[in-house]
Amino acid sequence: MKKVGVIFGGMSNEAEVSVMSARNVLAQLDRAKYEPIAIYWQRDGRFVRVPDADHLGVITPLAIEEITKIVDVVFPVTHGKFGEDGVLQGTLEAIKIPYCGCHVLSSAICMDKAIFKALMAGANIPQTSYVVLDYTLHSDEQIADTIARAKRELALPWFVKPANSGSSVGVTRVQAPDKLATAIKVARSHDTKVLIEQGVMDAMEIEVAVLGNRDLIVSTPGQIAPSREFYDYEDKYVVGASTTRIPAPLDATVLARVRTLAEQAYHLADCRGFARVDFFVRNDEVLLSEINTLPGFTDISMYPKLMEAAGISYRDLLTRIIELAF
């Protein structure tokens, strides 16, 4: 019986979502095959062993190298910086322990929206129009020029977002140019690199679940219908009033196009194990949004729902993900 270390929590502003995902993963692991080991990554950076995701105060401290002595494989259920951007993955590789999901390179590429978009653009994958503000590399004059270009070339509304963040944290929908500065300030509080992205009016938000390394299972697309002006953190995890449709109401040609682009983007970003690929679809126009290399496993998360619609139960899905780590 393999011991599966479920690492969750972390130092990002998405740690609470991680705990919700871990609660389900720990409960659904097949006990006939696996012994779950709950490992909580505290906000101060320390790893501790806990009984489960509901008792985070009952801890046994763990040095990182001790993880190799108590688990055979790690299932990361971490979101955001440090957990989803290749940092945790690199740490696990350094101590030579197998882990589920995307490796260092693909995790880093998909976490940084600016790098990801540049890679996809090089392969002519259709995307929304955007500009990048890099407050580390660009001068004040370059930043001002880029903002001016965004105002000239990008149609409203704009979505202003940190390049390295997830769960829509730090994202603002901007309806008027005089609101842009405030939105940039919000995004900069999460990252030094900011994207201004042109919104796609009247588009459906479409998500596709992908499973595998070389030979892939690509789910039928599903639709997210937000209850607010866009699918933000509150709608995802607090209010939870958004609705989903699986399969999405797409005609056969568009559906096939979405699935083909999902597979192309997954391989292009060198993804492994599993990921969720997100799109905007308007009529017959399909635009890639992003790849989430560690999608949520909460009660309302789309990834396990899409795989369930493909005939793969939550428990079987976890088993397949673990097997792909070896």
Model confidence at 168, pLDDT cuts 50, 70, 90, reads confident
Fold of the domain spanning 2-99:
Rossmann fold (3.40.50)
Of residues 259, 292, 301, 303, which has the active-site annotation?
292
The dihedral region occupied by 89, where left means phi > 0, alpha psi between -120 and 50, and beta the remainder, is alpha
Q: Catalytic residue among 85, 278, 289, 303, which?
A: 278
User: 71 — phi, psi (to 5°)?
Assistant: -135, 155
Catalytic residue among 112, 197, 232, 290: 290
Catalytic choice (5, 10, 14, 130): 14
pLDDT of amino acid 50: 97
Q: Is the pLDDT of residue 39 over 60?
A: yes
Q: What digits encode the pLDDT tens for the residues 74-96?
A: 999 999 989 999 999 999 999 99
Buried (b) or exposed (e) across 143-160, using 16+ Cβ within 10 A? eeebbeebeeebeebbbb
296 carries an active-site annotation: yes
Helix (H) or strand (E) segment spanning residue 131: strand 130-134
CA distances from 287 to 26, 128, 248, 276 (A): 35, 6, 15, 15
Burial class for 192, CB neighbours closer than 10 Å (0-12, 13-18, 19+): middle
> Average pLDDT for residues 18-25, to the nearest whole number?
96
Q: Which of 276, 289, 301, 303 is catalytic?
A: 276
> How many C-beta atoms surround the C-beta of residue 136 within 10 A?
7
| CATH architecture entry for 130-198 | 2-Layer Sandwich (3.30)
- The active-site residue out of 40, 130, 231, 237 is 237
The active-site residue, picked from 207, 296, 301, 303, is 296
Domain ranges of the chain: 2-99, 110-125+201-323, 130-198
Q: Which residue has the higher pLDDT, 229 or 4?
A: 4
110-125+201-323: CATH superfamily: ATP-grasp fold, B domain (3.30.470.20)
Secondary structure of 188-205 in the HEC alphabet? HCCCCEEEEEECCCCCEE
Please say if 207 is a catalytic residue.
no
Q: Across residues 188-196, what is the average pLDDT?
A: 94
Give residue-wise pLDDT tens across range 276-308. 999 999 999 999 999 999 999 998 899 999 999
Binned at pLDDT 50, 70 and 90, residue 169 comes out as confident
CA 227 to chain centre: 20
pLDDT at 171 over 60: yes
269 phi and psi angles, rounded to 5 deg: -85, 5
Number of helices and strands (H, E) in the chain?
Answer: 11, 15
Structure confidence by residue, pLDDT tens digits, 116-127: 999 999 999 999
Q: Residue 97: is its pLDDT beyond 80?
A: yes
Mean pLDDT of 27-46: 97
214 annotated active-site = no
Q: Is 139 a catalytic residue?
A: no
Spatial separation of the C-alpha atoms in residues 297 and 314, rounded to whole Å? 9
Topology alike, domains 2-99 and 130-198: no
Angstrom distance (rounded) from CA 52 to CA 40: 9
Report DSSP state, residue 61: E
The answer to whether 276 is a known catalytic residue is yes
Q: pLDDT tens for residues 207-263?
A: 999 999 999 999 999 999 876 565 455 545 454 567 899 999 999 999 999 999 999
Nearest to 120 by CA among 281, 284, 291, 274: 291
Cα separation, 220 vs 197, whole angstroms? 27
- Identified catalytic residue from 107, 167, 289, 301: 167
Retrieve residue 117's tokens.
């978009």
Structure tokens at 307: 């795989």
- Residue 290 annotated among the catalytic residues of the structure: yes
- Mean of pLDDT over the chain: 93
pLDDT of the residue at 301: 94
Q: Is the peptide bond before 247 cis (omega within 30 degrees of 0)?
A: yes
Global pTM reads 0.92
Mean pLDDT score, 145-163:
95
- Name the nearest CA neighbour of 258 among 126, 90, 160: 126
- State residue 240's pLDDT score: 58
Residue percentage of the chain with pLDDT more than 90 = 88
